[in-house]
Amino acid sequence: MRYAVIMAGGAGTRLWPMSRQGSPKQLLPLFGGLSLLQIAWARAVTVVQPSNLYVCTGAAYADEVLRQLPGLLPQNLLGEPVGRDSLNAVAWSGAVLAKRDPQAVMAVLAADHLITPEDVFAERLTVGFELAEADASALVTFGVVPTSPHTGFGYLERGEAVEGYPEASQVVAFREKPDAATAAQYLASGGYWWNSGMFVWRVATLLDQLRQLQPATYDAVVELADNPARLTAIYADLTPVSVDYAIMEPVSAGLGSAHVVAVALPTQWADVGSYASLYEALPHDESGNAASGTVATMDATGNLVLNNDAGVVALIGVTGLAVVRSGSAVLVVPLKDAEKVKQMALRLE
Amino acid sequence: MRYAVIMAGGAGTRLWPMSRQGSPKQLLPLFGGLSLLQIAWARAVTVVQPSNLYVCTGAAYADEVLRQLPGLLPQNLLGEPVGRDSLNAVAWSGAVLAKRDPQAVMAVLAADHLITPEDVFAERLTVGFELAEADASALVTFGVVPTSPHTGFGYLERGEAVEGYPEASQVVAFREKPDAATAAQYLASGGYWWNSGMFVWRVATLLDQLRQLQPATYDAVVELADNPARLTAIYADLTPVSVDYAIMEPVSAGLGSAHVVAVALPTQWADVGSYASLYEALPHDESGNAASGTVATMDATGNLVLNNDAGVVALIGVTGLAVVRSGSAVLVVPLKDAEKVKQMALRLE
């Protein structure tokens, strides 16, 4: 009765022009020919049997997802008619699973993360299932053990240890992306983990917390599970909100009837959300360039060069840039300004 | 009996990928839809009648040149089977003109310069013709009055004034591209002009100097003028050398029987030989970006962006770059490293 839903929604505007409306980042074959979604599938399938693996994605990507994942049962593909942020994708998936198996214990996994070593991940995901199976009031999350005072991630503030699970802690607060001084303090204290955005819980527990904290969403997703024909009509009216904001933060603060537990992930972890993190995640040549496609460099160091087209992309004498050609567009941006790509993508598309 | 030959040979590897084997820089429609060649033609035709205007270019570009210049008589297009540097193009053109009109006075003009104001150029070109008509021993060149201690140009060292021509001086030496200190001294002294690489002379005078200084070339081009069918066979065997090195420098040093006179060009002048000079020559927007084609910029300043393809080229947060998409290639290089483009082009093509 272990299930997992890989969350593969989102257009990934911060990876424009690689990702677009029709080809979001998680479906791009960037990693030795594999997409992030295929890598996420390979990670999950070591813990959860394929027939219990689900993918929640945009309805427009359904064909491509089924093509990339031959092991995915078509009835396990949940296609959102429109994106409504993570709470609704998680809640809808939970309601669908509860309808099919009220005893389901459900992992929520991300399609756009790189995590190594994979066997450590599998082991800790299994611990997460065990915790949720043992404790009907637990919302289990995963905290990446920080290796730097990163200011680009949210943090989990750890409370007491969990008896019998040396790799887990209670979570007493979710902390927003910190400034540099705060991040350094978090790292030095040892009391904080990076918020990975992955979860395990009994679907019954999830729906119970939803009913208490987000009753409108609860009603909507239960109706959707009973009456899939109403998907398009109901989904568009859901309020976009993140699962952290709507459930995890209130529960960690003592609202709701559950509690939040985090399992440590002592792994390399990259949330491939921007060209800066993609650069970090890809292998580098001796000049520190990370390249994909036909690329020529001369006196160029520390660049990310992604060429999805025929013909060469040539760099001379530049440092620390992302240069991306995809579809008909070319983007040039310093890796340090990678967060500005979203703004450009929204302006152009 | 005034003629002009526009020199439009050269592949322009320093402007790769805009210029390639099949589309050299002088034929690219970079300037409000006009090519440098079309601009050079428009400049020349104010002084020399169209039927006396010649273009010397690579034989492979003949069709495109005739397409771009509807006023050019097909018999006035001289197509080199292979490039053999400027002396041979100039000598061959001179021999052809001498065959058609032994009294010809011939201007040698460049296809890849931008010169403004054009009426000042026309006035000084006319002075050049007058000087050559008045003095059978004059090789007339044009010296751009320097506005900066530029280290990227050769210089003409001025000698005595030319009687009756206040805008002209004898030339006592051709100086190679100077270092910064020497260039500053040249500028301060007022005794040096930039070597524009344009000339006026009687064809008889040119051929006479050729016969004295470059007898093998003289014999070859006279044979070519008499016997055009032998073009392919003879041209490939010519020794590549520049007209400055083979004729102008020796004559200015007292070899040969002629002398070199320079007419001042008090104009803006850009030898569009690299992306750096092209950036200087093109109009800039309020952020100092010079762009052609579909381009989007955000927080980007002082860049040259040339997009010869459909779809956008987007720059975020970068400064002082040349970003060029042409054909199937993309190039990114700091403008200050523009001279390295040639190396990359040779490596790739």
H-assigned helices in A29-100: 36-44, 62-68, 85-100
Q: Which member of B296, B331, B337 has the closest CB to residue A314? A: B331
Which pLDDT value is given to residue A197? Answer: 94
**Does residue A281 carry a pLDDT above 90?**
no
Give the nearest chain A residue to B328 (CA atoms): A311
Sign of CA dihedral B25, B29, B32, B37: positive
Per-residue pLDDT of A147-181, as tens digits, reads 999 988 999 999 999 999 999 999 999 999 999 99
Mean pLDDT across B143-155: 93
- Gap between the Cα atoms of A278 and A21, Å rounded: 19
Do the bridges between strand A329-334 and strand A321-326 make them parallel or antiparallel, or are there none, so unpaired?
A: antiparallel
Instruction: Give the pLDDT score at A56.
Output: 97
Count CA atoms closer than 13 A to A28's CA, side-chain side.
26
User: Which residues are bridge partners to B312 per DSSP?
Assistant: none
- ipTM of predicted complex: 0.75
Radius of gyration of chain B (CA): 20
Predicted pLDDT of residue A23: 77
Section B314-326 average pLDDT: 97
Tell me B293's DSSP state: S
Q: What is the pLDDT of residues A91-129, one digit of tens each?
A: 999 999 999 999 999 999 999 898 989 999 999 999 999
HSE, side-chain direction, 13 A CA sphere, residue A123: 12
Q: Which two tokens stand for residue A102?
A: 């009220």
| Residue with more model confidence, A11 or B229 | B229
- CA dist., res. A325 & res. A313, Å (int): 8
Measured in angstroms, the CA of A113 and the nearest CA of chain B are apart by 26
Determine, for residues A330 and B307 on separate chains, whether the beta-carbon distance falls below 8 Å.
Answer: yes
Q: Among partner residues B309, B334, B348, which is closest to A317 by beta-carbon distance?
A: B334
Give residue A93's pLDDT.
Answer: 98
User: What span, in angstroms and rounded, lies between the C-alpha atoms of A171 and B31?
Assistant: 63
pLDDT the model gives residue A75: 96
Compute the distance between CA of residue B72 and CA of residue B62 in angstroms, rounded to an integer.
Answer: 11
- Give the highest mean pLDDT range of B17-21, B25-29, B115-119: B115-119
pLDDT tier at A280 (50, 70, 90 boundaries)?
Answer: confident
Gap from A276 CA to chain B (nearest CA, Å): 14
Mean pLDDT of chain A: 94
Model confidence pLDDT, tens digit, residues A185-224: 999 999 999 999 999 999 999 999 999 999 999 999 999 9
Q: Confidence band (pLDDT; 50, 70, 90) for B281?
A: confident
Q: By CA distance, what is B331's nearest residue in A?
A: A314
Q: Taking a C-beta distance cutoff of 8 angstroms, is the pair B270, B147 a contact? A: no
Q: What is the pLDDT of residues B105-142, one digit of tens each?
A: 999 999 989 898 999 999 999 999 999 999 999 999 99
Residues of A with Cβ-Cβ distance to B327 under 8 angstroms? 311
Chain A residues in contact with B310 by the CB 8 A cut-off are: 328
Provide the token pair at B171.
């030339």
Residues 6+ apart with CB under 8 A from A134: none
Q: Omega before A334 cis (within 30°)?
A: no
Query: Stretch B268-279: mean pLDDT, rounded?
Result: 88
How far is A210 from A206, CA to CA, in rounded Å? 6
